[in-house]
Amino acid sequence: MLTSRCVFITAVLQLLISFPAVAGEPRIGLPGCQTSCGNVSVLYPFGMGPKRCYWPGLKLTCDDRGSKPPRLLFGDGGAGAFEVVEISLEKLTMRVVSHKLQAININMSSGGSGRLSLGYTEAIGGAPYFLQQGGNEMILTGCNVQATLRCNGNIVNRCASFCPIFTDDNGSPLPAQYFAADYNSNSCSNLGCCQSSILSSSTSYDVEVNRLGDCLRYGPVPDPFPDDVPMNVLIAEEGWFYPENVINVPSWPTVIFRWAVPHGAAIPVGPCPDEAARSICKSTHSYCTQEWSNIQSGTILASATPGYTGNPYLTYGCQDIHVCDQKEKHGCFGHCERLPGYVSCRCPEGTNGNYSIPGGCVADTNTGNLALIIGLSAASGPFILLLVLCILVLSSDFKEQKLRMLRRKFLTQIRGQLLKQLVSHRADIAERMLISLEELQKATNNFDQARRLGGGGHGTVYKGILSDLHVVAIKKSNIVVKRETVEFINEVAILSQINHRNIVKLRGCCLEIEVPLLAYEFISNGTLSDHLHTEEPRSLTWKDRLRITTETCKALAYLHSVVSVPVIHRDIKPSNILLDDALTARVSDFGASRYIAMNQTGTTTAVQGTIGYLDPTYYYSRRLTESSDVYSFGVLLIELLTRRKPSLYRSNEGVGLVIDPMNRD
């Protein structure tokens, strides 16, 4: 009996140990994977050991061969691999020990030039690491020399080091003057060394060292200049430099690298495609962005949404940081309240002022006066009581006005007045478009994750049922930034005035909070991309593909020619074509769309869209016309005919926007 109980208890303990840590200590790696090497924590997507423990291109190796503590190395840990001493998910940086980013004892007879490289080939096989912009510096030591740092032929840094030599009254040279007056200082004064911050991110630099001649000699001093100061050029983390670190070579410097997750071809800055967001952002309360990298591949970054912290690359990796429990730390010195998707801070009831500074909320004088009047009324009879009742009514009106002012603040922050103007051309549109926050919360069960349909960099989409029993898809922005707000407003402005069977309908919007909420008709059958690039039973027949092509073409013709002010969609692609149960096409996602005045053929604007579907003329000239949509539609047509995704063609001149429909993955 005792044995069976022990077996049961052991099984329960193993189950508890293996269960994901939703709360408590944050997880940093995948189950069953090593998460530390010596004194360094290894945070996923980095990892060691089996391939399942790390994202492709982010492999590390723990080298315990004679090293105490063991060293964490890039890649397979081969010769020349950098040592990693710290990884930061929040800052997206790595601190490494570098011996490649320095030129030691430069020989001026050979020209005084060289190359400082991160050494991808030897260390990390082309993974997306590059020197952090800021936080690193170039250091030069030597006498009367100048170092120039170049990147792709352009000068990014230059500094000079001097060693003036003086003589005594008898003409004998005095000891060389070099380094800072305080030998223990970590800064130079251009005596024997110089420092200059590096504000350019790259994977390699060319360095040139030149003599400055004898302009600083004083008196009859012999050649050569003092050679007890080594002539070195190196890149190091700001704050690493001390004279003994340079003279007692080798003392390998630490360097700050920036990293990101590799993701195919180079792509512009912006939100991730949905499929990339699903593969990268494994945790709830996380979002995905993509950015340019300094290498030949694109990069993707995952981050916790505001109010959360942790590892967004892991399931249950992001946890609530309980902002209101530490509200002063986050700049809130008033009443803090956590609401769906954001945190509200305001002065407590009965006070007003600036809640973002200590003591900024002061007692409301109106409240004190009201209490005084109530006291007087009790002693002064019915007349005073009647006066007090009038004041109470006015006070209630004042509170209502205060509430309206608060809502007006939110409306102003998201250009609510502009939206009202756009939807008030017809009263029925205005009445239909505005939906209260309370109704949307009821429709989604307070934005329950069970109602979540998907999402990406722009926002998260929830399924809901409004009070009129309409089923809607509710889009909520992940982050409160000006660009996201402008795109939401743009989408409302366009869709509120469009009525076409092949364009998704906007049911309404909510303007009562900082984060704008949009409610669309619910399209239940996914996107064209879901059906086009899959096998049975969801794949499309030839007849369906031809019909979807015609319906998409009709929608674009309507936008370009029928509406009172033509609209350029600017992001036509399969993932923005929704299909209903009858496989009828509905064009969606008008966040990047633009109006074109009737008397104009186009407009000049910043480039937005999806590489592969983007019109090359628009990409290079920034001139947006109806032809830009026509080009994207042409790519979509080829994709429908061939069932192959477009790919980029790279020439020696750079990135081209040539579509290769016959490319095989």
Helix (H) or strand (E) holding 357: none
E-strand stretches of 168-277:
193-197, 204-211, 232-237, 254-259, 261-262, 270-271
Q: Which two tokens stand for residue 534?
A: 């899959």
What is the number of residues in the chain?
665
How many C-alpha atoms does 106 have within 13 Å on its Cβ side? 26
Q: Which of 433, 385, 547, 414 is nearest to 485 (CA)?
A: 414
DSSP string, 83-124: EEEEEETTTTEEEEE-SSSEE-S--GGGTSEEEEE--HHHHT
CA 215 from centre of chain: 51
* Feature table: binding site for ATP: 482
Contacts made by residues 154-160, CB under 8 angstroms, sequence distance 24+: 156/198, 156/199, 156/200, 156/202, 156/205, 157/196, 157/198, 157/200, 158/196, 159/190, 159/194, 159/195, 159/196, 160/190, 160/194, 160/212
Q: How far apart are CA 151 and CA 137, in angstroms?
A: 14
Q: How far apart are CA 48 and CA 274, in angstroms?
A: 28
Q: Which two tokens stand for residue 522?
A: 């619910």
Q: Is 571 a catalytic residue?
A: yes
CA triplet 576, 578, 584: central angle to 5 degrees?
135
Helix (H) or strand (E) holding 311: none
* Feature table: binding site: 482
DSSP string, 254-301: EEEEEE-EE-SS---SEEPPHHHHHHH--SSSEEEEEE--SSSS-EEE
When computed from its CA atoms, the radius of gyration of the chain, rounded to whole angstroms, is: 32
Q: Which of 490, 637, 503 is nearest to 562 (CA)?
A: 503
Phi, psi (deg, nearest 5) at residue 632: -60, -40
Among 214, 228, 325, 571, the active-site one is: 571
Q: Is the dihedral of CA 89, 91, 94, 100 positive or negative?
A: positive
For residue 279, give every residue at least 6 positions away whose Cβ sits within 8 Å of its Cβ, in sequence order, or none: none
Q: Partners of 602 in the beta sheet?
A: 625
* Residue environment code for 587-611, b if the CB has 16+ CB neighbours within 10 A, otherwise e: bbbbbbbbbbeeeeebeeeeebbbb
- Residue that has been written with the tokens 């509905």 in this structure: 586
Q: How far apart are CA 498 and CA 508, in angstroms?
A: 13
Q: Which two tokens stand for residue 270?
A: 């912006």
Q: Which of 352, 320, 322 is nearest to 334 (CA)?
A: 352
Taking the chain, what is the end-to-end CA distance rounded to the nearest angstrom?
Answer: 60
Burial of 262 (0-12, 13-18, 19+ CB in 10 A): buried
- Residue that has been written with the tokens 């956590």 in this structure: 338
Helix (H) or strand (E) holding 346: strand 342-346
Tell me the catalytic residues.
571
